[in-house]
Structure 1
Amino acid sequence: MDSLTLISSIPNLPLFFSNFLLIYLISYFVLFRDWTPKLRPEASSCIISLFHGTPAVLLAFRAIFSDPARNFHSSNTPFQSLVLDYSIAYFLMDLCHYLIFYPTDVLFIGHHLATLFVFVTCRFVVLHGAYSILVLLILAEVTSFCQNIWTLAAARRSDLAFADKVYRFLSPPFYAVYTVVRGLAGPFFVYNMFMFYLGGAADNVIPRWVWVSWIFVVGMAISVSILWVTNNWVELYWERTRKLDRKIS
């Protein structure tokens, strides 16, 4: 058996998880070996998020538009299932990261568990509705690249002038796009998703308890996201105001 055949014979989920684990370990022990112990885990988490976010968006787009029968309750295609496996592997890896380094961070641990519940039930329980979940994945991860660069810059802005410049440069456009995606596009799609499921058209393939839990989890995630970006807008406003006051004085 050649190496290509061997790789293709490994189930997607453990293969993807192993890749994310390897990337995390390389980041922690090699890429960020000179960073402080406090920052190394967070930075390594950002790197695996970079390897997940943008690729997941591109894969999800392809998986959605390659299915001519796509709708809120269509059966999952093999490619859609592969994309779900990719995201499940990432969230499992990042959940391990939080459980090891930040076991008291209940908010993020709860977020990852809830997200995994949505992905796993869609992928392995009902086998339908991947269109809905992948659109939500796109909305959640389309800002991932910018957010991770912003997070890495924020981690080093106190001791690196370049990191501070990157942080200050990225903050306004990142917050603006994040606000539009999470504050407008996300709620609009979830509303349409909710109205479709409420009509009962999916009850024969997606049990009501499943789609209700999906709506609840996504609604809570969007609410927390809106609160987070609002706090960041307020912090940015006061930071700019203090800077202006210092210049005037």
Structure 2
Amino acid sequence: MAANALLKTQSPTFASPNSALDNIVLEYSISYFLIDLLHYLIFFPTDILFILHHLATLYVFLTCRYIIHHGAFAFFMLLILAEVTSLCQNIWTLAGFRRADLPAAAKLYEFLSPPFYALYTLVRGILGPLLVYKMVVFYLSGVAENLIPRWAWVSWMFVIITAILVSIVWVFDHWVDWFKGRNYKAAKKVV
């Protein structure tokens, strides 16, 4: 949906006005994040990182849709980048939940970990920051000043940069654990 909206945007910039299609995509995304947030609050209330991520994302989408009415183009680009990793992450997460009691899940988890971490690192550790850098440069140039108030784009950039930094730390920690596990298995075989 976001890709379709991007393709139909007339003269796209990070401050383009939201079209009717943009608003539909924002509303759908808001609904998704609300339902997913409810799911986490009910079933995983201690997963503070994901709960905060959903609250921050909702803030950005809600202000873009209902207060500012501009800027969806930038968020759809970020949304597409984030969703590139979702299928692999969902399978990896489900396999991780069941790996202790299902050998097939453990094998799938081990098999998916390196390619998932590599994809996540590329998309959320390299491409995402490059896009955000372009957004910051655009907003700092003052081009959007009459369309998107400074408080809005500054708060959006704070939320997005924080999310990217957390993503980088998250994947770095998983890489470290993966390498430790491989070293442990290699040392165990030697003994």
User: Which of 179, 191, 196 in structure 1 is aligned with 2:121?
Assistant: 179
Q: What is the identity percentage for the equivalent residue pairs of Structure 1 and Structure 2?
A: 58
RMSD over aligned Cα atoms: 1.1
Q: Quick one: higher RCO (CA 8 Å, sep 6+), 1 or 2?
A: 2
> Do residues 149 (structure 1) and 87 (structure 2) align?
no
> Do residues 135 (structure 1) and 68 (structure 2) align?
no
| Deviation (angstroms), 1:131 | 0.5
The 2-side partners of 1:98 and 1:242 are apart by 33
| Deviation (angstroms), 1:102 | 3.6
> Do residues 118 (structure 1) and 60 (structure 2) align?
yes
- Structure 1 counterpart of 2:143, one-letter code: A
> 1:72-108: per-residue Cα shift (whole Å, max 9, x none)?
1111111121111111111111111232334444332
- Structure 2 counterpart of 1:176, one-letter code: A
Are the structure 2 counterparts of residues 248 and 104 from structure 1 closer, same or farther at C-alpha, using a change threshold of 3 Å? closer
The gaps in structure 1 that reach 5 residues or longer are 1-58
- Partner of 1:158, secondary structure, is coil
Counterpart in the other structure of 1:194: 136
The 1-side partners of 2:126 and 2:49 are apart by 23
The 1-side partners of 2:132 and 2:28 are apart by 23
The 1-side partners of 2:122 and 2:145 are apart by 31
Counterpart in the other structure of 2:101: 159
| Deviation (angstroms), 1:181 | 0.8
- Structure 2 counterpart of 1:74, one-letter code: S
| Deviation (angstroms), 1:188 | 0.6
Are the structure 2 counterparts of residues 103 and 163 from structure 1 closer, same or farther at C-alpha, using a change threshold of 3 Å? closer
Are the structure 2 counterparts of residues 155 and 103 from structure 1 closer, same or farther at C-alpha, using a change threshold of 3 Å? closer
Count of aligned positions: 191
| Deviation (angstroms), 1:163 | 0.5
The 2-side partners of 1:69 and 1:94 are apart by 33
- Partner of 2:138, secondary structure, is helix
The 2-side partners of 1:105 and 1:144 are apart by 18
The 1-side partners of 2:9 and 2:89 are apart by 30
What is the TM-score when the length of structure 1 is the normalising length?
A: 0.74
User: Which of 12, 15, 39 in structure 2 is aligned with 1:97?
Assistant: 39
Counterpart in the other structure of 2:181: 239
Counterpart in the other structure of 2:170: 228
What is the TM-score when the length of structure 2 is the normalising length?
A: 0.96
> 1:29-62: per-residue Cα shift (whole Å, max 9, x none)?
xxxxxxxxxxxxxxxxxxxxxxxxxxxxxx1111
The gaps in structure 2 that reach 5 residues or longer are none
The 1-side partners of 2:67 and 2:161 are apart by 21
Runs of 4+ with >6 A deviation: none
| Deviation (angstroms), 1:186 | 0.7
The 2-side partners of 1:155 and 1:106 are apart by 18
The 1-side partners of 2:76 and 2:130 are apart by 15
